[in-house]
Amino acid sequence: MSMNDADLACAICGEPATAAQSAECNWCDRRYHLNQRNDIEARDCGQVWIDEEYLALQFACNDCVARGGSPPTGDAHHDAPRLQALPARRRRYRRIQ
């Protein structure tokens, strides 16, 4: 079952979102606006950053960032308490059909 762009809405601002200009939060699984291109103006209702420990992209909506899931600053002593503030959760992976 595929989801149409018409079915997508940003969990942060409530406005419609396309699959190409949105992402799913790693912590709450809600979809939010994320401009993935730097050559166009678009809304950002969250962030994405590289997790240096796991060498993976981390996606977080503004609500989860406000609760402690902000991107690392590069200072391990400063970053550790903020990144651990998010509740631990089991990752879900979807089968692509």
How confident is residue 12, by pLDDT bands cut at 50, 70 and 90?
Answer: very high
**pLDDT computed for residue 92 by the predictor:** 61
**Predicted structure pTM score:** 0.64
Residue 45's contacts (CB-CB under 8 Å, 6 or more residues apart) are 10, 11, 12, 13, 32, 33, 34, 61, 62
5-83, which class in CATH?
Answer: alpha beta
Please state, rounded to an integer, the average pLDDT across all residues of the chain.
77
Higher-confidence residue: 97 or 39? 39
Instruction: Say whether pLDDT at 43 is over 50.
Output: yes
For residues 34 and 4, what is the distance between their CA atoms, to the nearest angstrom?
Answer: 17
Residue type, 41: E
Residues 6+ apart with CB under 8 A from 39: none
